[in-house]
Chain A
Amino acid sequence: MSAVAEREPASPRPRPRKRESALRKTMKEGLWDNNPIFRQVLGICSALAVTNLVLNTAVMCLALTWTTALSCLTVSLLRDWTPHRIRMMVQTLIIAFYVILVDLALKAYWPEMSRSLGPYVGLIITNCIIMGRCEAFARSNSPGMSFLDGLFSGLGYSFVLLMVAVLRELLGMGSILGVPVPYFSTAWDKWIIMVMPPGAFFTLACLIWIFRSIRSGEEEKSA
């Protein structure tokens, strides 16, 4: 699978010396080494916009992971046919297709969630993570690997977003998933700013800082 490694332009890092299985590597790339949020700093708009309630965030993460995984799969399936010059158009079309499916499903079967996510479901189309993975990986790799790459990039996005959301809802509202947490819902003086947009910037910045510090420690060790 060294071909995978060579065609992976999004990663500025040197390849690990140890030979890992392709699956393990894809997993580690998406979740940690090349995490879309704290490594590539992509998809930040939604990371800031929908993370003040854990439930909304969870639905958003599911929608994004579904879209990334299936778009990558589809782009990869069509990769031998798609003319190079119009590939971005085709990718956008495919991404939009999966996002509209999510939007339709939410509107029909979960109208309350559809209302509270508002325009952010539709805005998944413009989320850079998806097209980034399609361009960087799916268009030059096998469908199976592309699906996994999209899946784990989505999960990498999800776990950071859920951490932001848990912190914001807990500190800002004293609850998690709407359930009041002891101490935080009573004695804690709620930080209203955490629920407001600036709270997302602070939380995300701190998380990126912490994760990057951990990573740079790892880099020194492996060097």
Chain B
Amino acid sequence: MREKPWFPVLYMFVITAFFSSILIGLSRFTRERVEVNQQLAVEKAVLEALPIELPPEASSLELHQTFLERIKDPSPASGGAYVLIAGDKVVAYAVPLEGKGYWDTIKGFIGIDSDMGTVTGISFYEQSETPGLGAEIAQPPFRSQFVGKRMAQGNRPLGFLPVGSVLGESEVHAITGATQTSTRVERIINEDLLSWRSGVLSRGDSAL
């Protein structure tokens, strides 16, 4: 049989069918988990941008519970932002950030207080910046700078300055050695905040 001219075709067919069916089976088996992981990453980022006390070692389930209890899904009235509520009152908004980074798309959230001016935090759930440099945007030292900053009026709500310079109330330090990532993140934040702010303000103050 092995000498027949059609044997290689049959062989390739059988072997491809064999290995592919294992892979198809396994990817079905893990698909749900992969989707849940992606959803959880988004929920975690929303919570991290908002002023909520999270236990430092919170499990995915706890995070998911908190998310379901405290967060309202984006609506046109909130300008596309997730809303943190306490009782009936709006506490803060998690404004989605999205744009091109140095290597790939960066996605995250920036939290804005219900006074529409104070930053409550920032988080990223998708980024492929250079590890150790641009990727530091997702690390606490960079992110914690944003808490309590005030959004400036005009078309540049938040500014990035080189490390070492004196900061105003709406400025943070960029990342040394990651100029590309820093300028792009600055642009993403400002563009998304501006369009969100004008969207919500044009609807009047009753933003919910």
Which chain A residues have a beta carbon within 8 Å of chain B's beta carbons? Answer: 52-53, 56, 78, 81-83, 85-86, 89-90, 93-94, 97, 100-101, 104-105, 107-109, 111, 115-116, 118, 169, 172-173, 192, 195-196
A192 touches B177 (CB 8 A): yes
Measured in the bound complex, the distance between the Cα atoms of B132 and A108 in whole Å is 25
B130 touches A93 (CB 8 A): no
Chain B residue at smallest Cβ distance from A118 = B128
Residues of B within 8 A of A195 (CB): 130-133, 177
A94 touches B132 (CB 8 A): no
A93 touches B15 (CB 8 A): yes
B8 touches A85 (CB 8 A): yes
Residues of B within 8 A of A97 (CB): 19, 22-23
Given contacts A53-B132, A86-B12, A94-B19, 17 further A-B contacts (CB under 8 A): A83-B7, A90-B12, A90-B15, A93-B16, A97-B19, A97-B23, A100-B23, A101-B23, A104-B27, A108-B30, A108-B34, A115-B126, A192-B133, A195-B132, A195-B177, A196-B130, A196-B133
Measured in the bound complex, the distance between the Cα atoms of B128 and A100 in whole Å is 21
Count of residues in B whose CB is under 8 Å from the partner chain: 28
Flag whether B176 is at the interface (Cβ < 8 A): yes
B30 touches A104 (CB 8 A): yes
Chain A residue at smallest Cβ distance from B37 = A111
B33 touches A108 (CB 8 A): yes
Q: If the complex has contacts A89-B12, A90-B12, A107-B34, are A116 and B131 also in contact, measured as CB distance less than 8 A?
A: yes
Most A CB atoms within 10 A — which of B7, B130, B132?
B132
Measured in the bound complex, the distance between the Cα atoms of B177 and A111 in whole Å is 27
Residues of B within 8 A of A78 (CB): 15
Residues of A within 8 A of B41 (CB): 111
What's the dominant secondary structure at chain A's contact region?
A: helix
| 30 residue pairs from A and B, CB less than 8 Å apart | A52-B130, A52-B132, A53-B131, A78-B15, A83-B8, A83-B11, A85-B8, A89-B12, A93-B15, A93-B16, A93-B19, A97-B22, A104-B27, A107-B37, A108-B37, A111-B34, A111-B38, A111-B41, A115-B128, A116-B135, A118-B104, A118-B128, A169-B132, A173-B132, A192-B133, A192-B176, A195-B130, A195-B131, A195-B133, A196-B130
Which chain B residues have a beta carbon within 8 Å of chain A's beta carbons? Answer: 2, 7-8, 11-12, 15-16, 19, 22-23, 26-27, 30, 33-34, 37-38, 41, 104, 126, 128, 130-133, 135, 176-177
Residues of B within 8 A of A173 (CB): 132
